[in-house]
Amino acid sequence: MSKRLAIAGGLLIILALTSLCLQSFILDVIIVPVIYTWYSIRLFLQSVPGATYWTMLVAAAALIFFISILLRMRLPDRRKRDDPPVRGQVEVTAGYIRSARKGVFSKWLLANRLVELARAIMKQRGVEVFNMNDLRGTDWDPPQNIRAYFEAGANRYFMQVPRRRLFARLRKTPFEVDINEVIDYLESKMKT
């Protein structure tokens, strides 16, 4: 720390000696022109009447106001973009099937979507389902693994499905059913 202080002190002494030697040069080249320029600007600004300042201020405010209005009027034209095409139900369900490999939540989304489809099929067949967990009706008897799949998909909270823990094996979930079996079952119920 004292080394830095010594260097700073030495530089300060050199600077002071240099400024004493070059005092008239600094005064003539830097200080007098800056003071003269400041005096000229101040004299010019004092010679302008106050009404001129107010007129310039109002004109600047009006200019800003009109520019902002013009930008707002043009803004929708600049932002005009093509909206992406609307995805149909089949495309949405296909997206769920593709993403079902990613994790439990994606599998639950797919199961939930298929439960909605099963409910629509039952409604089409004349069976009104009021409770998503209660998918029962005449001639509606899915195998045990598909029934468990529908019950897990109808569950509102996907987090109740077992998740992977650190250093533990993942327990089997109801979502481990082959999706083709579920779709085949739903298609068989659509035909009858």
For residues 37-59, give the mean pLDDT: 92
3-state secondary structure (DSSP) of residue 159: helix
Q: What is the distance between the alpha carbons of residues 159 and 172, in angstroms, rounded to a whole number? A: 14
Q: Which has more pLDDT, 158 or 40? A: 40
pLDDT confidence tier of residue 126, bands split at 50, 70 and 90 = confident
- How many other C-beta atoms are found inside a 10 Å radius of the C-beta of residue 173? 18
Q: Which residue has the tokens 């996907």?
A: 158
Dihedral (CA of 64, 70, 73, 75) sign:
negative
Residue 186: name the closest of 127, 143, 157, 152 by CA: 143
Check: CB of residue 119 under 8 Å from CB of residue 150: no
For residues 7-35, give the mean pLDDT: 89
Which sequence spans correspond to the domains of the chain?
89-191
| Confidence at residue 173, expressed as pLDDT on a 0 to 100 scale | 73
What percentage of the chain reaches a pLDDT higher than 70?
79
Check: CB of residue 122 under 8 Å from CB of residue 137: yes
| Confidence at residue 130, expressed as pLDDT on a 0 to 100 scale | 60
Asked if the model's pLDDT at residue 75 lies above 70, the reply is no
Q: What is the distance between the alpha carbons of residues 95 and 106, in angstroms, rounded to a whole number? A: 10
Q: What is the distance between the alpha carbons of residues 69 and 75, in angstroms, rounded to a whole number? A: 10
State the average pLDDT for the chain.
80
| 87-116 per-position pLDDT tens digit | 777 788 788 788 877 777 788 888 888 888
Q: Distances in Å between the alpha carbon of 144 and those of 22, 24, 174?
A: 100, 103, 10
pLDDT confidence tier of residue 63, bands split at 50, 70 and 90 = very high
| 139-172 per-position pLDDT tens digit | 677 888 888 888 888 776 655 555 556 665 656 7
pTM over 0.85: no
Residue type, 147: R
The stretches of the chain forming alpha helices (DSSP H) are 2-21, 23-26, 32-47, 50-78, 89-99, 104-124, 144-154, 179-191
| Confidence at residue 42, expressed as pLDDT on a 0 to 100 scale | 92
